[in-house]
Amino acid sequence: MGLSLRDASKLSGVSHTHIRDIEDGRSIPCFEMVMRFLKAYMVDIGEFLTETGYMPPNEAGSFVLQFYSNMENLVLRARSETEGSAPEFCF
């Protein structure tokens, strides 16, 4: 896609300095941050996992459906346990 650090920062909501630290290996992004990057670059999580070798191509579709179902349940459970406030997944 060829974005500058500042453009990637605007699209993802992650500071350009943090993106640089991730690119340089000084920081590892949390799950929420990875999801922000996937959304900013318009990349499906199944496609990402397949392209990076974490999942065989024939399993991506069923994984994505199960993944989103599990995440929705996790978020709903976390919200009910914290009385409606949004859970924080980054550490």
User: In terms of domains, do 61 and 35 share one?
Assistant: no
- 3, with CB counted inside 10 A (0-12, 13-18, 19+), is middle
Domain that holds residue 65: 45-84
Separation CA 84–CA 29 (nearest Å): 26
pLDDT category at 1 given cuts 50, 70, 90 is: low
User: In terms of domains, do 39 and 51 share one?
Assistant: no
* pLDDT tens, position by position, 11-65: 889 999 999 999 999 999 888 888 888 888 888 888 888 888 877 777 766 777 7
Distance of CA 40 to the CA centre of its chain: 10
User: In terms of domains, do 51 and 76 share one?
Assistant: yes
Give residues with Cβ within 8 angstroms of 11, minimum separation 6. 3, 40, 41
Separation CA 86–CA 91 (nearest Å): 14
Give the total number of structural domains in the chain.
2
Candidates 80, 43, 79, 78; CA nearest to 64 is: 43
Amino acid at 72: E
Query: What's this model's pTM, rounded to 2 decimal places?
Result: 0.60
* pLDDT value, residue 26: 94
